[in-house]
Structure 1
């Protein structure tokens, strides 16, 4: 699905095999789904009616005990209505655990500036906050699906939350050894306080935090790139790493492409079997020399990246920050990004969150949400704009997904308009991923009934409300004062600030207090 999951589709007939029997699915009439915001075309940019025999694989079958005659997509049988929905009722995206957009927005607001709307990615705001999803015992995901009414438009609109969680972190001692190649930006722009000095401090902290059986290499780049420390098993060699870090000094221009290429070459040369091999890029991503396009940069190291399974972790720094380039590099480099603005952020990323930032529990993870056309009239995925996957590629394991580590949670929020008097099945959410070692595929699913929607968003669980406030805040920053394009149920910034204040008190969560402070700062700027 594309940005707005609000569809209009003529009648189609498809044959699907479900539960060993041939099920005829006929979508009757025209389901007029008007866009929540601009655009009403198929936002994938492809037609879901394919005549070459390679059409979409069916979504996981689901059933609803309630039979409702006359509804499109309905199949009557002894066990009630059981069907796979039309492709127009599918939403498919690659998982994303990035949080850099939110971190950079907070830094920008603290500096007295409103963030550029192009840097606002709502899913990264939402995924910056802890959720209380049940976690699986082993590798893979648990799936939680819930929702609440927003109280708008006679109660027809709801927020639906799809929560995916990996196993809890086992502790640093339980993870596989790591082989980390740090690629450090030492260009002139990194001379500003809070850039290279923060990067050096972070590297020193992480070096002390890593285990003896971990390995570290160090690559620097300005106008050219240089390997200043080959892959080195820490053991008794931590002093060598600290000495190399201490020698880092800002130089001239920013040839980020050369840095990435040399970094991957160094990582490949020092590749360790049975270890997590990762490139850690620390930069303000303000590339101005050599290749400055993410596709071109990663194309040059594609073989090393895919063949050897080397993933990229991007750490952004600086008040001026190349957010778009860093995010594209991480997405296309099978990794994720975060942003650090001070030593406290750095300690959290390089110490407290160390296992989830260097270990992997799932590769090429994708989610697909199938909405029931008998109960759902319109829906819209909030964010994940550049993480969309064609619906038919959900089970094509050659298609890139997202990489997720232990202790991560991924939250996707949908604005959903239900049909009048809707009851029974509302949606099925499925996640598919590859085992990081064997590459074998796995799936898990969860379901939501219309009757399970909470009556009021603002009396639902605290963590659901935190996700909603984060999403509405991102929407307000991205849409500005144009209320016509805002999400259903959105509140003015002053009301969002009050909600965030209450949640900060009830959760006693420092991160939620920081969210309330950021909203208060933005509110003051909008007056």
Structure 2
């Protein structure tokens, strides 16, 4: 109860703070905020730039080739000529299954057949897409809708069946049908919807630019072992006599297509060796190139783990061309011949729907695997997402602990049914890689080829990406380099270099535009990066501008992080790189050849350069080395063709080549580094402490700001 003797006049306000207190608090809070901006600004700017770069990433459309006049007996589908004929019709309503689905259109030029009184085994042999897995019984993998019969034998069994029994039904449903019957007979024209065959899709990425070392001394990126861009560029130049679109050329993939003479790792430390060499730039004589080479360990045959492989094959209508499904069948058949009794192979196909056509089979059962591949034919839409989910499901069910568990996707990337949204499909693959099953991608075909999609899902699937443009490339990727394709020896491999501002005025990374990482991601084990396969060689090149008063001291510190395939914590390796002042003639053959390939790729991308195609060709001709498979000689033809198409006058090079013995491992001008493992525990605590210190100024500024602005309190005296 209030004191009745207390007069209201005794109630007074707390004296206002001295006049200096409020300005002092405001100045202190603003100073702390400013300090917070200074400490966190570069990180926020880098984050914004990365976000802006992703937003700006566009898909470049390729100009269609000139249209050809078809012959009288042909019609044009896109820019492909096909035989005339009526398009197949939908089945009659009475042919639908209990799910309400109808038989789909058949492909062109087939002989209509009645589906009654069929032989299931014969039907499966001729159909081959969702062929019988067990005669007279279904298998849950054949249909996502449950245990439908693998070969339909009644009017209700259309979805799971390859052969229907009612007029209007076809072998298969959802675009997998091969032969229609009656009113739904096989079409005499294209059995799949017409696509825009002139639309090849590539991600348009800006070329890396020079960075002032005084402003930013670090450079961080993920390694990349893909080679698809090189084979695709070769297809443009040598098969189509066209310059590739700049967005189709990824410089690092052209460089990494070739093997280099790097030393093998010693075997008592990291699963790879690191080699560096510094020399002049062929396109900017006053600049220097820092060449970083990584050589993956090659295990002995008896050390190769058992392989659990799922071939995920696109059999949609867009895959019917000779440079698509037939090429994939040939390549995978060659890979199958290298497998043994401890290996397992499964085959999943997808078109309008997905199904397993070969259950897990011993690698020694070559006849069964080859027969399943031989039966594959194309037709229908492309539900790639459903196929990917089914392939991962099968790989997880047959998972080999400590083995190689991998899905090999073969497609032109033309996803048009199901999850056709790019980001949604990428997220699906990101989720699935957590199972320990990795994804490798084989791209094929022209016209509707979706390079952007294929490259992204291989990256997010912890795998690699190759483009198959012919039988020779199929053998290179799937036989000669199968260990590199399938056997991962190090994952999430990141490189971070720190340049000395006293030595290097400016620097830029040549290529790897879509592999650049934020600097803080280097120490973040949750951030995904590239993988190295057994025997892989990886090359990265920095172009640098030396300072006027540079000396022979170290140019940069090279830091490398990696994880063992079955580990979640990374290991860090460190070394320093110096410049011995070599001239071009003193550098190694591999240095000169990789520089020629880099100059060629940058020229195709339109990067300003002082080197002409004549200069590039001359440099490559003088650095062929021991070309065991003649790939470097073929590169000469590509440079010549590009120069001619660009309007330069070049003499045609002599690219004749005989296979040569394997080269010695490395030359005298390269520096093989003994990488020093780094204790990361202290660095982790230091990083945590720095993060706390960065956050303290803005956190302390808030209460000071509130204290300065709050109203005086009333109190009784």
Q: TM above 0.5, one fold?
A: yes
* TM interval, short-chain normalised: 0.7 to 0.9
1:88 is aligned to 2:208:
no
| CA 248–194 in structure 1, closer or farther in 2 if over 3 Å, else same | same
1:520 is aligned to 2:640:
yes
| Higher share of residues assigned strand | 1
Structure 2 partner of 1:463 = 590
Work out whether residues 272 and 294 of structure 2, in 8 Å CA contact, stay in contact via their aligned partners in 1: yes
Structure 2 partner of 1:486 = 608
1:508 CA drift (Å): 6.7
Listed as ranges, the matches of 1:118-517 within 5 Å are: 118-138=247-267, 139-150=270-281, 156-167=286-297, 169-235=298-364, 237-306=365-434, 308-320=435-447, 321-423=449-551, 424-450=553-579, 452-456=580-584, 459-479=586-606, 485-487=607-609, 490-504=610-624, 510-517=630-637
| CA 319–303 in structure 1, closer or farther in 2 if over 3 Å, else same | closer
| CA 508–221 in structure 1, closer or farther in 2 if over 3 Å, else same | closer
For residues 239 and 466 of structure 1, what CA distance do their matches in structure 2 show? 43
Which deviations, in whole Å up to 9, do the C-alpha atoms of 1:89-148 show, x marking residues without a partner? 111111110010011100111222211111110000111111122221335222222211
Any gaps of 5 or more consecutive residues in structure 1? 1-11, 15-25, 27-40, 48-84, 480-484
TM-score (norm 1): 0.79
- Mean Cα deviation higher: 101-110 or 283-292: 283-292
Equivalent pairs, count = 442
For residues 87 and 368 of structure 1, what CA distance do their matches in structure 2 show? 16
Which deviations, in whole Å up to 9, do the C-alpha atoms of 1:322-349 show, x marking residues without a partner? 2111101111111111112111111121
1:151 CA drift (Å): 7.0
For residues 516 and 136 of structure 1, what CA distance do their matches in structure 2 show? 31
1:276 CA drift (Å): 0.9
1:469 CA drift (Å): 0.9
| CA 172–296 in structure 1, closer or farther in 2 if over 3 Å, else same | farther
Work out whether residues 556 and 576 of structure 2, in 8 Å CA contact, stay in contact via their aligned partners in 1: yes
1:231 CA drift (Å): 2.3
Q: Partner of 2:305: helix, strand, or coil?
A: coil
For residues 355 and 215 of structure 2, what CA distance do their matches in structure 1 show? 49
| CA 446–511 in structure 1, closer or farther in 2 if over 3 Å, else same | farther
Q: Partner of 2:216: helix, strand, or coil?
A: helix
| CA 518–301 in structure 1, closer or farther in 2 if over 3 Å, else same | closer
1:171 CA drift (Å): 4.3
Structure 2 partner of 1:35 = none
| CA 505–290 in structure 1, closer or farther in 2 if over 3 Å, else same | same
RMSD: 2.5
- Mean Cα deviation higher: 376-385 or 349-358: 349-358
Work out whether residues 100 and 337 of structure 1, in 8 Å CA contact, stay in contact via their aligned partners in 2: yes
Work out whether residues 140 and 433 of structure 1, in 8 Å CA contact, stay in contact via their aligned partners in 2: no
Does 1 or 2 have the higher relative contact order (CA < 8 Å, sep 6+)?
A: 1
1:152 CA drift (Å): 7.1
For residues 229 and 430 of structure 2, what CA distance do their matches in structure 1 show? 26
1:109 is aligned to 2:229:
no
1:278 CA drift (Å): 0.5
